[in-house]
Structure formats: structure tokens, C-alpha cells
Structure 1
Amino acid sequence: MFTGFERGAFEFFMALQFNNNREFFHSNHAWYQASVRGPLSALCMDLAPGMLALDGELEVRPSRVISHINRDLRFSRDKSPYRDYMWLGYHRTGWPKRDCFHFYFDISAQSAHAGAAMYGDDRAWMDGIRRLIREDPARMAALLESARAAGFELKGQQYRRIARPEGLEGDLARWYACRSFYLERDLAPRELESAALVEQLLAGFGALKPVYDLMYQVRPERAPDAGEAGLRRIMDAPDADDDL
């Protein structure tokens, strides 16, 4: 059962920032397990029923939801072996991440956030949002206002040059110009240190569900990738111990 993150979690991430090497991690593996991995696993398990109530297709197994602390050095300019943050990411089971609008929670030494996001730039998907903004701006503005009332801020990179419909203002104009977007809320330390974080996260994700559902309604149809079947086999394989 999740009882909150203790100060040791933030202190571990801070120490890792200054000692990002295998020797430090191996000698402090028990600290990592007790203060970071253990609480994240408990949080993930306590969130699972509520997440499935939001979307029955979500992957909720901890091995698929909890990020790896090991950095994949093959594709990273940063060659430090470990991330100094971790997250929970809720994607639909068996779907490529690029096709998922997903819920997430992340934590580091300095901050923590919760929200819902696209995985990366996707013009075809965002064109569906732009079409709905043109057709029914009042409805789309109401969706953003509902998210804002729950504490979530619209973020994302925008096209520098894009023709906007006349009369669009504020967040609706920014949403229209987005290459991709996410809705995010900062979490205060007192929230992270309480078992009530479970219900707070579920309430926040629930407030984002109208946008979440809309994103799947406008998701473009795509031809399957050649390697998608292989990727699904990899996803279904048991994880190696990536925390050693």
C-alpha cells in the first residue's frame, strides 16, 4: 500500500545527480529500492483499479508502467548511466507509444508532475484537433477550461507560422498552433508525502478524461509498422532486472 514518498526519495535523486556512476548506484541500491522503486511500485498498484476504470485498455502492470532508471545509452547524447528522475506512464496495451495519448506521473529531486500527453509531434493527429477547434470553438475552449480548473496547464511546442481562424485567443489559439501538446499539473511536496496522492492523481486524470477520449476519437488511421508485431512480442516478454 502506498503511504507517500519520504524525504529519502528526493535525497536519492539529488545524490544521484552528483554521483551518476555505477559504483554509487550499486552501493546505494538498497536506498533506491526502499525510497524510490518501492514507493513507485506501491503507487502503481494502488492506481491500477482506478486507471482501468478510466480506460479498460490501459496497461497497468508495474513492469510496463514504471520507467527504467537505467538510461539507454545507444540513443542518448547524455552518457551518464542513470536517469535522475522516474515516471509512471499509462499507455494502451499493445499499442505503439506514438499512437497513444497517455497519462503520466513523474518525480525528481526538484519537482513532480501529473498529466496527459502525446508522445511526440504528430501533424496528422493535431490536424484533427484543429478541425474541431474550427468547427466548435466553444466546446474545445470548455475542455481546456475544465482542465485548467483542475490545475492543468496546456503546454507544447507550436508552429511558428500557422494560419489561425479569426477570433481565436489564449489557450485555444495556442492549442491550435501546437505540433503536439500535453496538459500538466505541478505537484507540491506535501501531496507527494501523503497516501492521498493516489486519489489526487485519479481525480486529476479523471478531469482530463474528456480530452483523453477526444484524442482517441480524432486519432488518424495508420498502416501498421513493419516492425510492430516484433515490438509487441518484445513488450510481452518478461523484463530483465534493469536496476542493477
Structure 2
Amino acid sequence: MTTKTASKAAFTAPTLEFMRELVQNNNREWFQANRARYDAAKTELCAVVERVLAGLSEFEPLANTAVKDCIFRINRDVRFSKDKAPYKSNLAFAVGPGGRHSGRIDYYVHIQPDNQSFLGAGMWQPTPANLAKFRQEVDYNAQELKDIIEADSFKAYFPEIHGETLKVMPKGYPADHPEIDLLRRKELFFLHRYTDKEVLKPNFADEIVRGSRIIKPYCDLLNYLFYDEKEEPVTL
């Protein structure tokens, strides 16, 4: 990344204002009339993603991961939705090996005005098989997970926990299990919210990298459980 590109890797107030107005004018006619404003916003988004990629590459294997592979389209898929608004109210990208479709636990960044921007990562809508692996790990060795998510530095940066929780214990586990709260989790996703003022700072991309570094051990643990764990050899 060139110094010139890096120096411009920031969002500006007109980008947030465009997104704010889009919510009130979510139709193709208005969007096309304001296409130049969207293009300017996307240019800023690409520059921020490029800088984030450079920072994350220091501790993540992101070779051959392009900016375009990380960015989500602003167009909504309305085929099966009652809400037919054609555009999303946010700009977003996710960083993992190969981009947003890495198939692994990655870092998700959501940019939305009025202090609704955030960095998030963790277990979200896992497959039944992966949820079973998570619960098995909690049952056998909850301490490793707890050492990560209960660390003071982690809780300070990621105070919000999102995701669905069972009202009863999952099948196969006793109701008096010492890790009942974790075992009831169907999702365990953490958020750090950013104010508009923070989003507009020149070093915002670097702040995303800092937050990603904090949550990396949790992502690494999930990726190991879900995708990297080797099966025991079969003895005939």
C-alpha cells in the first residue's frame, strides 16, 4: 500500500451523511441520482479495507485476499423478504482468508451513521455440527475459552455479547452443569461499537486492527474447534 493511499484511508462526514439520507430515500431513483456520492463512499471504504488488510496481515494468513473480496454489496437480496427496500443502510466488510466468504470465523465491520458502527466476531448461526463441537469443548475444557473471553482487556473492548440462548439445557447435559450459561448458548458473538466521531478519525482503520488483535484468540479457538481439529486415526 502506498503512503498516499494510506493517508486517505479514512471515512469522511459526507459518507455518513449519504448513508443517513439513504435510509430516508431507499429507492432506486434517489440512489441513481446520488450515485456519485455512493461511489465516493465506496472509494473511502476500499481505502479503509486496504489499510485493515495490511494491518491484519501482520498476524493473519491473508495472502491473495483482495479488497473487493471483503466488501459486501450494498444491494439487498429482497427475493424472500417482506421488506423490499433495495439497499442496505450500512457499509460492511469481513476479513478472513480469501475475503468475506472464507468459510471461517472472521472479523466483521459494520459502518452505519448515528453511532451504530461496530466490529464483531465470534460464533454466529453455527451449523448443528459446529454447535455440538462448541458444547463438547465447554463440557471438557471450558477454562481455555473463559480465560479468553473473561480477560479484563477482552471484556473492556468487547462488552456486548449477542446471540440466541436456550431457555433450558441442551440435551445430553445435566441441569446442574457448572458451565450452564455457556452450554445454553446457541450463538456467542461479541461487539465493539464505534461512535461516529471515532469512525471519522484518520486512524480508524488502525483501531479496527487493534480490536481484531484483541478478539483473535477467540476466533482462533473457534476456527480450531470447527475447521482445524484433526480427526483421530482409525485403527483397523
Could you tell me which runs of 5 or more consecutive residues in structure 1 were left unpaired when the two chains were aligned: 222-244
Note if contact 1:5-1:193 (Cα within 8 Å) is conserved in structure 2.
yes
- Tell me the residue number matched to 1:107: 111
Given candidates 152, 161, 171, the residue that maps to 1:154 is: 161
Q: Does 1:49 align with 2:60?
A: no
1:166 maps to amino acid: H
Q: Does 1:68 align with 2:79?
A: no
Given candidates 198, 208, 214, the residue that maps to 2:205 is: 198
Tell me how far apart the structure 1 counterparts of residues 124 and 67 of structure 2 sit (CA, whole Å): 20
Q: Does 1:145 align with 2:156?
A: no
Aligned residues with identical type, % of pairs: 22
- Tell me the residue number matched to 2:234: none
Note if contact 1:3-1:193 (Cα within 8 Å) is conserved in structure 2.
no
- Tell me the residue number matched to 1:167: 178
Give the TM-score, by structure 1 length.
0.78
Q: 17-26 or 151-160, which moves further after superposition?
A: 151-160
Q: Does 1:215 align with 2:235?
A: no
Q: Does 1:89 align with 2:100?
A: no
Closer, same or farther: CA 143–165 of 1 in aligned 2, 3 Å: farther
Paired positions, count: 215
Deviation at 1:197, TM superposition (A): 1.1
Note if contact 1:102-1:118 (Cα within 8 Å) is conserved in structure 2.
no
Deviation at 1:190, TM superposition (A): 2.1
Give the TM-score, by structure 2 length.
0.81
1:159 maps to amino acid: L
Note if contact 2:69-2:98 (Cα within 8 Å) is conserved in structure 1.
no
2:179 maps to amino acid: L
1:74 maps to amino acid: R
Structural RMSD (CA): 2.4
Could you tell me which runs of 5 or more consecutive residues in structure 2 were left unpaired when the two chains were aligned: 1-5, 229-236
Tell me how far apart the structure 1 counterparts of residues 99 and 50 of structure 2 sit (CA, whole Å): 20
Deviation at 1:47, TM superposition (A): 1.1
Matches within 5 A, 1:174-185: 175-185=182-192
Matches within 5 A, 1:34-45: 34=40, 36-45=41-50
Closer, same or farther: CA 95–78 of 1 in aligned 2, 3 Å: closer
Determine helix, strand or coil for the equivalent of 2:150. helix
Tell me the alpha carbon deviations over residues 3-54 of structure 1, each in whole angstroms, 9 at most, x when there is no partner: 43222122111211111111111111111122x2111111011111222233
2:65 maps to amino acid: V
Tell me how far apart the structure 2 counterparts of residues 165 and 148 of structure 1 sit (CA, whole Å): 26
Given candidates 25, 34, 37, the residue that maps to 1:28 is: 34
